[in-house]
Amino acid sequence: MSLLEDLKKRSGNQCEFCTSTENLQIYEVKPVSNGGFDGSVLACETCVTQIDNVIETDANHWRCLNDSMWSEFSPVKVVAWRMLHRLKKEGWSKDLLEMMYLDESELAFAQLSGEHLEEGEKIIHRDCNGVILESGDSVVLIKDLKVKGSSMVAKQGTAVRRISLDHENAKYIEGKVNGTQIVIITDYVKKMSEKE
C-alpha cells in the first residue's frame, strides 16, 4: 500500500484535523520529520495552507482541534499542539492546551517549531535583504554554494521551495536542491515573491 492509501485508511478518508473530505494531501510534519506514516498527516488544502502560513490562520477553523487533539497518532497530536499554541490568545485554545497530553518525545518534536515561544523569544530568520523567512517559503540562491560532505555545488539562481527553519540558529534554513536536503545559510538566499 502507498503512504497516501495508508493515511486514508488511518483517517477514514478525511482530513485528520477538520474532517473535510475535499482536496486531501499528505503533509510532512516539519522541521525534521522523515515523513512516512509516523511523520505525516492527511490534511485538506485549507489546513495545510494555514499550518504553513501564520497570516492565513483563521482561529474559528481550528476549533476542530477540540476533537483532533485526542488522536492516537503522534503527528496529528504534534500539529494540533502547535496550532493551539499559535492560537493561545483565544480563550478556548488555552483551555484545550491545559487538557492536552503529549509524551516526552512528542513534546520535544512539537517544540521544534517554536510555536510555543513568545514573540520576543522566537528566532527570526531573515534573507540577504532582511526580509523575514517563514517555514514553507521559497527562496533563490544568490551565489554558488558548495554543499558540505559532497561534491555538489548549488548554483546561483537555483530556487529552493518549501524551506524549513532551524529553530536554534537564525542563520540556518533547510531545503531540497536537486533532490538533496541541504542546510543553507540565510545570508546567501533571497525570498521569492508569490509570483516568481
Report, as an integer, the average pLDDT of 101-107.
91
Task: Please report which confidence band the pLDDT of residue 129 belongs to, taking 50, 70 and 90 as the band edges.
Answer: confident
pLDDT tens-digit series, residues 36-81: 888 899 999 999 999 988 888 899 999 999 999 999 999 999 999 9
For the ranges 120-129, 134-143, 164-173, the lowest mean pLDDT is seen at 120-129
Compute the mean pLDDT over every residue in the chain, rounded to the nearest whole number: 87
User: For the whole model, what pTM was predicted?
Assistant: 0.62
Which residues does residue 27 pair with via DSSP β-bridges, in sequence order?
41
E strands, the chain, where? 24-28, 40-44, 125-126, 132-133, 139-141, 145-146, 153-154, 159-160, 164-165, 172-177, 180-185, 189-191
* 118: in domain: no
97 and 70 belong to one structural domain: yes
pLDDT tens-digit series, residues 106-124: 988 888 776 665 655 567 7
34 and 127 belong to one structural domain: no
**Given the C-alpha cell 503527528, which residue does it identify?**
75
180 and 158 belong to one structural domain: yes
pLDDT for 140 equals: 93
105 and 137 belong to one structural domain: no
What's the structural domain count of the chain?
Answer: 2
Q: Which residues contact 130 (CB under 8 A, 6 or more apart)?
A: none
